Amino acid sequence: MPGVMMYPDAKHKNSLRVGENYQEKIKRVIFEQFGYVIDYYKTKREQYEIGESRQGFEIKYDSQIMKYGHLSIEIAEKSRIDIPFWTDSGIFREDNTKWYVQGDDNTAWIFGKVDLIKYYNDNKPKIYESFGTVRKFYLDIDVADKLAKKIIKL
């Protein structure tokens, strides 16, 4: 999955599994609630060259939302800390993504990708780094509630 933070092997594999399970949960809920089918690309090459899904959905699991009261919106990444240059990712990745879904075990927010980019450009939020490989900004839950096209209770 593009955009996944780098972890030591065991933790990284678990993180990937959690993210994949979350994608499947969101896929099922979106179908049940809206009748919309999400067809994920299976190969890394397709995900890198085209996007995460044929329908333009990017789905991110964010386990810390309730703990901190905000969503963590990714904007850039690099595969290793010693690489000097950042690559656009998350909402700034140039791919077919139209819908950015982010949530935890209880709630998922569905944003238009362009709405998140506009929010970023208009508000210039502070940028944070995680692990030296991910850049992001925080979106408070009350702002997410207003900005989201749909909010799904899981």
Least confident span in 1-5, 25-29, 47-51, 116-120: 1-5
Helices (H), 63-125: 65-68, 113-123
Residues 59, 4: contact at Cβ < 8 Å? no
The pLDDT value recorded for residue 135 is 97
Is the pTM higher than 0.85? yes
How much is the pLDDT for 26? 97
Please check whether residue 137 is in contact with residue 144, taking contact to mean a CB–CB distance below 8 angstroms.
no
**Burial of 19 by CB count in 10 Å (0-12 exposed, 13-18 middle, 19+ buried)?**
middle
pLDDT reading at 10 higher than 50: no
Residue that the structure tokens 């980019």 belong to:
117
Q: Are 144 and 109 in contact (CB under 8 A)?
A: yes
